[in-house]
Amino acid sequence: MPIQVKPTGAALGAEIIGADLTQPLDDATFAQIHAAFYQYEVLYFRGRELSDEDHIRFSARFGELRKLKITKQLHVEHPEIFVISNIKKNGEHIGSYDAGIFWHTDGAYLANPHAVSALRALEVPEQNGRVLGDTNFASTSAAYDALPQSMKKRLDGLMAVQSIMHRLKQTVESGIKKDYNEAVKADPEATHPLVRVHPVNGRKCLYVTEGYTSRILGIPEDESRDLIKELTAQCVKPEFTYLHNWRKHDLVMWDDCSTQHKATFDYPETLPRLMHRTTVVAA
């Protein structure tokens, strides 16, 4: 099936037109999508309603799917699906309601972090004809490429601690959540290179986020704090970002090595937003 790859024109992102994800893809079509993904870092597919089975089948072409430990927020019938939503049932959120509140890269706090995430919009909050709750994506490979040579040299070989407790502490401090989810404490942090070399396309990318990066090792604490601030600001400069304005049924997938993202919380609780996300484990 011929497909069309339409770049967003931003530093990252492309729309894939003409791929029917309700059916198993033939190898040639999947190869085109795979190549586009590792070129554009974020892909989106729109215009066709997908089932959970379609979503799982398509994302599993990229690798083994991870079942997250946060069992309360997993889909009951499909534990490969993580539910993100502000909808409440019997007084409790049916999914994660604070996902994406800070700039972050999914699973960075794990020793074997996520490789690919695919998020599908089942319900979108709409007001006055505009869908709210955009997701902003940043290309950390473009952000790295634009650094001066002296900074690239300084970062060479540095390691950083990525911690879910760091994110949860910020969430509690900002009053968004009262408590931590016990399940995440099982894998609280991991150490990764500050500059990762992408396992598929070999591009260098900054692996540092507002949400998860708590400490750069081997340098004084104040220097670590300042460098995290400088690099996270570099990553999210407008010239390295693409803002996705959702439509119902969109499937958006992103590279968890070379991008980071942040959701926009600009919609009231009365407007439901429901997303399903699958996660591919790094090979």
Residues that bind ligand SIN (CB under 6 A): 84, 99-100, 106, 119, 135, 261, 263, 275, 277
Query: Are 188 and 165 spatial neighbours (Cβ–Cβ below 8 Å)?
Result: yes
Closest CB to ligand SIN among residues 106, 147: 106
CA torsion, ordered 137, 143, 144, 146, to nearest 10 deg: 160
Least separation, in Å, of the C-beta of 254 and ligand SIN?
9
Token pair listed for 275: 């997303």
Tokens representing 153 are: 């040299």
- In the block, tokens 């609780």 appear at 269
Q: Could you give the C-alpha distances from 237 to 13, 149, 191, in angstroms and in order?
A: 16, 18, 25
Asked if residue 18 lies in contact with residue 1, where contact means CB atoms within 8 angstroms, the answer is: yes
Toward ligand SIN, which CB reaches closer, 204 or 211? 211
Least distance from ligand SIN to the Cβ atom of residue 273, Å: 7
Q: In the structure encoding, which two tokens stand for residue 99, read together? A: 């996902």
Question: Which one, 203 or 277, has the nearer CB to ligand SIN?
Answer: 277
Compute the least distance from the CB of residue 98 to ligand SIN, in Å: 9
Choose between 167 and 203: whose C-beta lies nearer to ligand SIN. 167
Rounded to a whole number of angstroms, the minimum distance from the CB of residue 135 to ligand SIN is 4
Which CB atom, from 85 or from 214, has the smaller least distance to ligand SIN?
85
Q: Which is nearer to ligand SIN, 203 or 244 (CB)?
A: 244
Q: Which is nearer to ligand SIN, 58 or 254 (CB)?
A: 254
Residue nearest to ligand SIN (CB): 100
Which DSSP string corresponds to 8-45? -SSSS-EEEES--TTSPPPHHHHHHHHHHHHHHSEEEE
Minimal distance, residue 263 CB to ligand SIN, in Å: 3
In this structure, the dihedral spanned by the alpha carbons of residues 155, 253, 14 and 109, taken in order and rounded to 10 degrees, is -10
Helices (DSSP H) in 83-203: which residue ranges? 140-145, 149-155, 164-173
Phi, psi (5° rounding) for residue 172? -70, -45
